[in-house]
Every structure is written in structure tokens, then in C-alpha cells.
Chain A
């Protein structure tokens, strides 16, 4: 009898949480697809294969294809050195890795404008050598790398710290080289955590708006990524096209979520079974 109010409270809480998610997450997602398809599939398709849209999609894929692998390398190297070695300045390095999370993306973009822009520190030198970074693809890639830097490292540092050095030392004592140890012992130990970090990193790399917006210059067909293209179309009252491109980003988010759940499930399973 006394359990009844508790059960009622539980149902109420669950209902409130579900209602909140429906209102703020599911509904907007549905709205995106509804708006994109309001003039039918033909208009939807046309908006996606229009040259500027295609250019934006290509640029977004290119940026992610550069930023994500680089951040995998940086992330693994940073996590490795932080988790497995002691050195002076270690806590400072950990703080710096978090910097992109605590700094507004717009500021991140401005940093690059200040450094590489026409009025920036390196601007005159770059102009002399005819290298374009700001308002060009390199700037977009740099800004994206900056913003997505923490994802892989953040995921790996606690994991690698927890695993300690024993496995690597065991491999070395059995005669394995450093590279063999990394490939056959370290990498398998961190594979699910790494995949998880890569997924989040990729989602952010493709979806980043603020930092990229500052350095891009919004040149149609040249320096517009998908999020920037959506904004331009929207400002031109071209709602169907705007939502059509936005729906691709939403789709990416959904795919990421599904993959993330699968990885979490495998990762959790592996972690659970690895405990003694």
C-alpha cells in the first residue's frame, strides 16, 4: 500500500522526462523533416543536388576527412603521454586540452583571424607568399580541428589511466617492439573508447557553425559548409532548401546516436567483463 505513492511518483517523473524530450528534441527533429518535405520529394531532392548545396556537402566531408584523422592522432598521442607517463607540465596539458570546450567557438574562430587574417600577425607574410588561410578552406579546417580537439583525448585519458602500464610492460618484456605493443596491445584495449570519441568528434566536425562561420567568409560554392549553407538559405527565405540541407545534418546526428549506442553497449559489455 505504501508503495503506491512511490510508483505514482516514478511514473510521473518518467512521463515528465519523456514529455520534455518530445517537446524539445523529437518535435524539432520532426519539424526539420516536415519542413524539408513540405513541397514534396522533388523539391527536396532538387535542393540537395543544386551546385552550391553539393559544394557545401563536399566541403563539409573534406573538412571532416582532414580534421577527424588528425584529431585521432593528436588525441591518442596526448592521451597516451598523459595517461602513461609523468612529466612536468602534465596538468597544464590536461587543462589546455579542455580549452576548446570552455572557449566560445566564435572566439576560437577569431583567434585564427587574429593570427592569419589580413590584419593579423602572420597576415602580411602570408600575403607575400600568396597563402590564403582565412576565408579559405585551410582556415575552416584549422577552426574545426581546434573545436573538435578534446573529443578523442577526453575519451581516452580516463580509459588509459585506468588501464595503467602493466599490459604494455608485459608486451615489452615478452620482446615486442614499441610499435607492436601499440598495435597489438594498446589499440585493442582502447578501441571502443576510441571509436566513441571519433564518432563525437566527427559529428561536431560536420556540425560546427560558430568558429567556422568567423573564418569562412561565406563564399557560396567555395567556403560554405553545410551549417553555413543552411543559414544563408534560411536568411533568403528559401525554407525548403534550408531544411533539406538541415535534414542531412539531422540525419547525421541520428546515425551518430545509433552508432554511439551500439559502441556504448559493446564498450560497456567489454568493460564489465574485464573487471576481476
Chain B
């Protein structure tokens, strides 16, 4: 288990992490989710040993590793822009971690080569060992970077925005593939992302961060359905913010005949399997979005409709309350 206790980190005057504590279970797939500047990457780097906290401690399985350097922590780190060594072949990149070991622990060359081949097969790039990174596509480079990190048999795999530089299609395939690899190899994995969809799809638990603090820790279901703070509600999934601190998801608003709140429709378009209706609360300045079943005729722009939340969440300065109208 990995335990972070009261981690504080400043960059000059700017507090990047404020008193962050977090337990990560063995075998867990954890997402650090947040906007840029939330401190998620700094936290990942502190877990890796690429950065060090000003205060607080990092423990791996009960052992204090706060001051251990990255080389001594047995972690695999995958960088957003791959950080492959351009002047080495793919096989040499993967074998790098083994080839820099001291003489006594270093496997013979032939064994390093065999291990690289094995890992190339694992990441489905068999036969590409003699290529140079420049000759590979973005998705292939990311898989080489992963194979290189796995070559040293880390207990812990850390990934910094692993899919950030890839296009949507490749990203989707790689995500599913990574999820499977994580399970098959029994790894503990932590990845940083600003993409809530990615976090909800991949992770066992999601840590939502903002401005250097953890806003919520929970399963994707909990984070989406029971956001602990207005920030989480707003950042994870789509949210209508109504007057009085009421937050409603677009799919939790329904059109009713009467006795709802009047909404002036100004735009309607198809969003996958539903109609997305955009409008304004009549008499208020607040925008509202709702999803309407695509099997019925949608309202048209200019029309005034009555809407009612099926489910909402109210955030007051003293706390959060859920309401189920159904």
C-alpha cells in the first residue's frame, strides 16, 4: 500500500500542494483528475521521487521512502511526451533499465535482448525492435515507453497524461488495452489526467483535485453521482448550475406539462442517442442544458417549455444535500 501523509509543496510563493493525504491500495488503478494547476502532476512526481515534498511523508508498504531518489523506488514512469531516447533503437530503449544496472545485477546482453523482445510482444509491437522512435507513430511510441517502464519490473506504474498527445481513436484503443494490461500484470497504477471521461472509464477510484487540495476521493460512480463539492459536480460530467446552489445534470432534467420552471429554448441538436436542448431559464440569466429522449419530437427554438429536475444536488455553505424527486 502507498500512503501519502500531509504532503505540502510550494513553487516559490505558489502552493502546489496543500496538506494532501491519500492511501492507495495494492492492485488499484487510480486516477488523479483535475484541471491544469491543480497539483495532480506534482503529486505524481512526488510519488515517483522526481520531486520532493516540503513537508509530509511518502510510504511504500509501510516503509518511508520520502527521501529516496526515483532510481531507488522501483517505479515505472511513463511521460506524456514519451521521453524515448531518440538515438537508441526501440529494443535498446526497452533494455535501457537493465543495461544500466551494476555489473553484478546486470543480465547478459543476450538476455536483455530477449527481454526486450518479450516486452515488445506484450505491447503488440513484435518485430519493431530495430526501428528508431522517430519511425513510429504516437500510439506506438507510447507503448514503447510503457514497455521500457515495465522492463525493470516496477511495483508501481505511474503515468503522466499518458494519452494526452494522441488522437481520439488511438486514445480509446490504448485506454482499453492499458486497463487490461494493468489487470493481467497485477500492477498498482496511478495516472494523471485532466479528461474526466478517461478517469471515469479507466480508474477503480478517482481522486479529484483542484488548487492543490483533494476535493473528493471515490469510485467513478460516487464521484459522478455524489459529488462532494460544487467543484467536483462542475468538473466531472456536465452540470446546470441553478440559482440557490442547485446542481442538476442535463439528463436529470425532464420536460413536464405544467408546474415546472419555464425555459426559453434557443438551440436543439442531436447528441448521440438524445436531443440536447439548450435554453435560458425564463426570467433568469442562467443557461440550462437538458437531454431529451430522441424517440420523441424535441421542442423547437423559440418555444417555452416547463422543466423539472428528477434528481438534483444542493450545495450550501454548510454542506451538500441530494434530492430525488422520482
Contact = CB atoms under 8 A, between A and B. Distances in A.
B274 interface: no
A166 interface: yes
B240 to A, nearest CB: 39
A171 B138 contact: no
A90 interface: no
Contacts of A173: 48-50, 70-71, 75-77, 149
Contact of A175 (B79, B97, B138): B97
Contact of A169 (B77, B134, B145, B152): B77
A184 B88 CA distance: 10
B71 A167 contact: no
B100 A167 contact: no
A176 B70 contact: no
A172 B71 contact: yes
A176 B71 contact: yes
A170 B97 CA distance: 10
Q: Interface residues of A: mostly helix, strand, loop or mixed? A: helix
A164 to B, nearest CB: 8
Interface string B138-158: 100000010011011000000
Contacts of A185: 85
Contact of A184 (B69, B100, B145): B100
Interface residues of B, number: 28
Of A167, A173, A274, the most chain B CB neighbours within 10 A belong to: A173
A169 B100 contact: no
Contact of B97 (A169, A174, A274, A276): A174
A45 B179 CA distance: 76
Contact of A177 (B87, B100, B134): B100
B71 A169 contact: no
Interface of B: 48-50, 69-71, 75-77, 79, 81, 83-87, 96-97, 100-101, 134, 138, 145, 148-149, 151-152, 165
26 contacts: A166-B79, A167-B85, A169-B70, A169-B77, A169-B83, A170-B77, A170-B84, A170-B85, A170-B145, A171-B100, A172-B50, A173-B70, A173-B76, A174-B96, A174-B148, A175-B71, A175-B97, A175-B101, A176-B71, A177-B100, A184-B85, A184-B100, A185-B85, A189-B87, A276-B81, A276-B165
Interface of A: 166-167, 169-177, 180, 184-185, 188-189, 270, 273-274, 276
Top 4 A-B pairs ranked by shortest CB distance? Answer: A174-B97, A166-B83, A170-B83, A176-B100
